[in-house]
C-alpha cells in the first residue's frame, strides 16, 4: 500500500487531506509538529511527503533540506504546500529539494492528480544496466550516482533527469523533451521548472569542484557534455 505522510499543523486541513487520500486508497501518516517529522519519516518510510511550508518552530524548507540530506529518505518525493503565492518562494521551495509545490488554497482533485503523477514518475521501471559517462556512473539497482570516488546525492527528480541525459551523452535534449520524459508532460509543470531542477542537478554534480559536465545550449536545451561550457545560463 502506498503510504503518504501529511505534515500540516492546521487540524482542519489535516482531516481533509487524510480523508481524501484514504478515499483514494492511500495509507496516511499525519505529523502536526515539525520536530516529529524526521523521526516519523525514518520510522514510517513514506512513499511521498506532503509538506507544509509554514510550521510552528520548524520551517518546511529546512525539513525539505534535511530529508534530502538523509540517506534513507533522500529519494522520497516531496510536494510542498505553501500559503504564499510569490513566485520567488515557489522556486525557492523547489531549489531546496521539493519535487512539486501547490499554493493554498489548493483544489483537492488537482492535488490528487499531482500526487499520482509524481508517484508514477518515481516508480517508473529503471534500466537493468548501469550507465556511465566520463567520471560519472549511475547504479540503478543501488540507486547510486558517483562522480569519480565521490557519491552524488540527488533527489528523485534530478535522478530521472540525469538518467535521460546519461542515456544519450552529447545529445541536446530540449526543455520540452525533458519535461515530457521526466514529468510525463504534466500540464501543471512550467518549462522553467526544468531549469530549476537542472540547476540543482548541476550543483550536485559539480559540488566537489569537478568541471561542469552539464552543457546549457541556449534556446535549445541541455546535454551531458564534458567539453567546456561556453554558453552559460
Is residue 89 near Ca ion by the rule CB under 5 A? no
Which residue's CB is nearer to Ca ion, number 9 or number 212? 9
* 78-82 sheet: strands from edge to edge: 27-31, 3-7, 48-52, 78-82, 100-103
Decide whether 21 or 138 has the Cβ nearer to Ca ion.
21
Give me the least distance between CB of 28 and Ca ion, in Å please. Answer: 17
Contact flag: residue 9 with Ca ion (CB under 5 A): yes
Greatest Cα-to-Cα distance within the chain, rounded to the nearest angstrom? 54
CB of 52 to Ca ion, least distance (A): 4
With beta carbons less than 8 A apart as the criterion, state whether 133 and 185 touch.
no
Pick the closer one to Ca ion by CB: 78 or 181: 78
SS3 labels along 25-71: CCEEEEECCHHHHHHHHHHHCCCEEEEECECCCCEHHHHHHHHHHCH
**Residue closer to Ca ion, measured from CB, 90 or 200:** 90
Report the alpha-carbon distance of residue 65 to residue 150 in Å, rounded: 20
Residue 220: closest CA among 181, 193, 191, 197: 191
CB 91 within 8 A of CB 196: yes
Task: Tell me how far, at minimum, the Cβ of 84 lies from Ca ion, in Å.
Answer: 11
In the complex, minimum distance from the CB of residue 54 to Ca ion, in angstroms, rounded to a whole number:
4
- Which is nearer to Ca ion, 56 or 228 (by Cβ)? 56
Q: Which stretch binds Ca ion (CB under 5 A): 5-13, 94-102, 168-176, 214-222?
A: 5-13
Using CB under 5 A as the binding rule, the residues of this chain from 22 to 81 that contact Ca ion are 52, 54
CB of 104 to Ca ion, least distance (A): 9
Chain residue at closest Cβ approach to Ca ion: 54
Size of the site for Ca ion (CB under 5 A): 3
Binding footprint of Ca ion on the chain (CB under 5 A): 9, 52, 54
Amino acid at each position: 500500500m502506498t503510504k503518504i505522510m501529511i505534515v500540516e499543523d492546521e487540524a482542519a486541513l489535516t482531516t481533509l487531506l487524510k480523508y481524501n487520500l484514504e478515499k483514494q486508497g492511500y495509507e496516511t501518516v499525519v505529523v502536526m509538529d515539525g520536530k516529529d517529522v524526521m523521526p516519523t519519516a525514518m520510522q514510517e518510510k513514506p512513499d511521498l511527503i506532503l509538506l507544509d511550508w509554514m510550521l510552528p518552530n520548524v520551517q518546511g524548507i529546512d525539513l525539505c533540506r534535511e530529508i534530502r540530506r538523509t540517506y534513507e529518505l533522500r529519494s522520497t518525493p516531496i510536494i510542498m504546500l505553501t500559503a504564499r503565492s510569490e513566485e520567488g518562494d515557489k522556486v525557492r521551495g523547489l531549489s531546496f529539494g521539493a519535487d512539486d509545490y501547490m499554493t493554498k488554497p489548493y483544489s483537492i482533485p488537482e492535488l490528487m492528480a499531482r500526487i499520482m503523477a509524481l508517484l508514477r514518475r518515481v516508480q517508473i521501471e529503471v534500466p537493468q544496466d548501469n550507465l556511465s559517462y566520463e567520471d560519472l556512473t549511475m547504479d540503478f539497482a543501488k540507486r547510486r550516482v558517483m562522480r569519480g570516488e565521490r557519491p552524488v546525492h540527488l533527489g528523485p527528480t534530478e535522478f530521472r533527469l540525469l538518467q535521460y541525459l546519461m542515456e544519450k551523452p552529447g545529445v541536446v535534449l530540449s526543455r520540452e523533451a525533458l519535461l515530457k520524459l521526466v514529468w510525463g508532460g504534466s500540464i501543471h509543470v512550467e518549462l522553467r521548472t526544468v531549469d530549476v531542477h537542472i540547476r540543482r542537478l548541476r550543483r550536485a554534480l559539480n559540488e566537489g569542484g569537478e568541471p561542469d559536465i552539464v552543457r546549457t545550449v541556449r534556446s535549445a536545451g541541455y546535454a551531458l557534455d564534458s567539453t567546456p561550457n561556453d554558453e552559460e545560463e
